[in-house]
Amino acid sequence: MTGKRRAVITGMGIVSPLGIGLDAHWKGLMLGLSPARRLTLFDTSHTAAKHAAWIEDWDAATWLPPHKLKRMERYCQFAVVAARLALENAGLTFNEPQQRVGVSIGTAVGGFGVGEQQLSRFLTSGPDAVSPSLGVMGYPATAQGHICMEFGLQGPSYTNTNSCAAGNSAIGDALRTIQRGEADVMLAGAAEAPISPLIFKAFDNLGAMSSYDGNEPQLAYRPLHKERNGFVMGEGSAILVIEELSHALARGATVLAEITGYAITNEAWHMASPEPSGEAMLRAMRLALSDAGIQPADIDYVSPHASGTPANDINELTQIRRLLGPRASKVPISGTKPFTGHTLGAAGSVEAVNCVLAMQNNWVPPTLALDDPDPAALDSDLVPLKGRHHEIRHILSLALGFGGIDTALVISRPADLGQ
């Protein structure tokens, strides 16, 4: 890492089905709570999937005034609130426009939900019924724009739509922006609110979601389980304040963790299925470790994508074992999506927050409902059912997306801060 500007995490904000803010989210992780429940927001009689994980009683008006809310789709509301919480956690306030503070946001479907609503109005009531606000609410970059406007951030700003790898991609882009010297602070993360009739049915038709139809909702989402059959859709946002190290130290910030490595590759194989050899996925992991200047032997915990689909989980686990080599059975690996549902583009940033909390507390969250692991996973430490104490220095966090996108982040316990 010699010569690179170092990027540290000094604040985090999260809006998740476990609760609003870090305390509520962490409490849910510690208690092993599953927010999955039978979907009642719309008719599911025509879908095999019956469960989702949504944020109950969301009241954006407690955070934002009406004149702003009327131009913000639900995912955008989540992102702005998560950004506010992250800045508060970092102890950052801005009284004037900031040219050295930027924003990097990821999302898979963005404002698709409002587009779905307006299409219905178009079809039932005619063209004139379409809201003039659709043009500034439905496109993916609205969250990035509103965050910039809300806090006066005039630095580099990006939006990526790298499907379920979008959260990791946003954090990686922020890391590179700081390393290149283009910004001193970046708000980075992702947001998603995909639980609408059309999007839900699309993933249902794809066969990607769990078809569990029993009376124990927590069993609907079981990554790495022998009987897994897809994911439970979730929603939310997680935003990190990523700061150049000397900038953070100069203002007396508390450094929570350091982002030491990032890589992104593509399998160039299929839009929705993993490439069987896993070489591109493995290469992303190796490149991220090389970027961080560490070896596989330095990894203390792996946060996999673990989407819960039959093919993806074991393919991913196989590549993790190839990376770790002889230590593969000794390094904890836990799939945490059941805590929030699969939040699509927001998944990587939500799991980055999980990773930092795990590192701060030296506690690895469990893989929920994993009472009967896939036989192909029995030689891995999957932290089933209950979390546990574990010393953590370096975490490898993976996020994989449609279109063959493989991303890997290395999050490290900060060392040699010069304090």
**Using an 8 Å Cβ cutoff, are 160 and 170 in contact?**
yes
Decide if 292 contacts 412 (C-beta within 8 A).
Answer: yes
CA 112 to chain CA centroid, Å, is: 18
Q: Report CA Rg, the chain.
A: 20
Burial of 119 (0-12, 13-18, 19+ CB in 10 A): middle
CB 191 within 8 A of CB 236: yes
Residue 276, phi then psi, degrees to nearest 5: -55, -35
Catalytic residue, from 25, 51, 247, 305: name it.
Answer: 305
- Give me the catalytic one of 225, 342, 355, 394: 342
Q: Are 367 and 383 in contact (CB under 8 A)?
A: yes
Is residue 25 flagged as an active site residue? no
Strand duo 233-234 + 257-266: pairing:
unpaired
Closest CA to 229 of 82, 51, 366: 51
Query: What is the C-alpha separation between 63 and 47, in angstroms, rounded?
Result: 34
Q: What whole-number distance in Å separates Cα of residue 384 and Cα of residue 369? A: 7
Q: Which tokens hold the place of 2?
A: 């010699």
Q: How far apart are CA 322 and CA 330, in angstroms?
A: 13
Question: Are 73 and 114 a contacting pair, CB within 8 Å?
Answer: yes
Q: Is 270 a catalytic residue?
A: no
DSSP 129: G
CA dihedral 52, 53, 56, 60 (to 10 degrees): -110
First to last CA, the chain: 19
Quote the tokens at residue 59. Answer: 């009241």
Sign (positive/negative) of CA torsion 154, 146, 18, 306? negative
Considering 164, 225, 247, 355, which one is annotated as catalytic? Answer: 164
Q: Which residue has the tokens 């819960």?
A: 308
Helix (H), strand (E) at residue 101 = strand 101-106
Question: Does 164 qualify as catalytic in the annotation?
Answer: yes
Which residue numbers are catalytic? 164, 305, 342
